[in-house]
């Protein structure tokens, strides 16, 4: 792989609803805006194609991957603009009552470069009574994914994955210097933890973090946090959406900054395994 050069990255922030075609069109328009401003890598949020917590309604209109029109639409957009394009995730039907929460990375010629299925399911009961059981609908993925591109080594992840530090350590050790974390964080957890978790993953691995988000009140009744972020490997905030409205943020990424951060703090190389002693039992 040739030495990577700097590139301009963009996060597309959205407020996807129930209509897949409408959501896709809105995403394509924002992708065009990002490309027009010089972005070479563009990422959209988790569940770009549909946000719907009603499983019965979702499955009535959700096709399998071969008939998922948004895959073709994103491939054409990547080719039209000549950019690396990450569909943060699409809901895609995999069985009668099962789906995948799947990222799609398209190359500038429109070819599908990689996919990644979200590994960690958002099964939580929050203090305000909000409850989510993502595993009731979505099947978890089983493999971490790192993609070698001319821009950077991209480590793919989705939303709730960000709470599992071992995943990011694994993809960093596999060579990833840019982590992609498309998300649809709930407002409650977003206010409390969004920026802290993303910054921690950047610092502890000396990696860039690109995190496009859903934001605002959705048609299905849920509320997401927004506040898309691009963070440098030293923990510096390179770009931030200070709101939850649809839009685009940009930052210039210098992959060599990741190597420099890892030289300053060589924790990836010096990590030690250890046994735990429980005292007092």
SS3 139: coil
Would you call 46 a catalytic residue per the annotation? yes
Q: Count other C-beta atoms under 10 Å from residue 73's C-beta.
A: 18
Q: Distance between CA atoms of 110 and 79, rounded to whole angstroms? A: 4
Catalytic residue among 70, 93, 134, 159: 159
Pick the catalytic residue from 11, 46, 70, 134: 46
Distance in angstroms (rounded) separating the CA atoms of residues 132 and 123: 5
User: Which residues is 214 bridged to in the sheet?
Assistant: 14
The torsion region of residue 157 among left (phi > 0), alpha (psi -120 to 50) and beta comes to beta
Please, are residues 224 and 185 in contact by the beta-carbon 8 Å criterion?
yes
Residue 11 main-chain phi, psi, to 5 deg: -105, 125
The secondary element (H helix, E strand) that includes residue 267 is helix 267-270
Strands 7-13, 41-43: pairing is parallel
Give the Å distances, CA to CA, from 156 to 29, 43, 97, 104, 130.
24, 11, 25, 10, 27
Q: Could you say which of 11, 93, 118, 180 is catalytic?
A: 118
Calculate the alpha carbon distances from 236 to 120, 208, 209 in Å: 27, 9, 10
Q: Which residues are catalytic?
A: 46, 118, 159
């Amino acid at each position: 792989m040739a030495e990577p050069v700097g590139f301009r990255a963009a996060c597309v922030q959205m407020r996807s609803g129930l209509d897949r075609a409408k959501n896709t069109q809105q995403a394509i328009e924002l992708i065009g805006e990002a490309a027009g401003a010089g972005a070479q890598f563009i990422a959209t949020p988790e569940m770009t194609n549909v946000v719907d917590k009603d499983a019965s309604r979702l499955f009535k209109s959700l096709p399998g991957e071969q008939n998922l029109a948004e895959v073709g639409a994103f491939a054409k957009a990547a080719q039209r603009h000549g950019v690396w394009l990450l569909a943060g995730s699409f809901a895609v039907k995999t069985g009668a009552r099962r789906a995948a929460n799947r990222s799609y990375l398209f190359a500038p010629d429109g070819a599908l470069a990689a996919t990644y299925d979200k590994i960690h399911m958002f099964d939580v009961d929050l203090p305000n009574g909000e409850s989510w059981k993502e595993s009731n609908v979505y099947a978890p993925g089983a493999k971490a994914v790192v993609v070698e591109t001319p821009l950077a080594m991209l480590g793919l992840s989705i939303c709730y994955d960000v709470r599992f530090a071992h995943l990011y350590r694994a993809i960093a050790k596999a060579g990833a210097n840019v982590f992609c974390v498309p998300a649809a964080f709930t407002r409650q957890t977003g206010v409390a933890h969004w920026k802290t978790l993303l910054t921690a993953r950047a610092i502890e691995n000396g990696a860039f973090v690109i995190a496009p988000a859903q934001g605002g009140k959705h048609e299905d009744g849920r509320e997401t946090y927004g506040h898309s972020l691009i963070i440098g490997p030293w923990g510096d905030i390179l770009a931030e959406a200070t709101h939850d409205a649809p839009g685009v943020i940009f930052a210039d990424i210098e992959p060599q900054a990741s190597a420099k951060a890892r030289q300053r703090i060589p924790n990836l190389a010096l990590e030690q395994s250890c046994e735990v002693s429980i005292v007092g039992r």
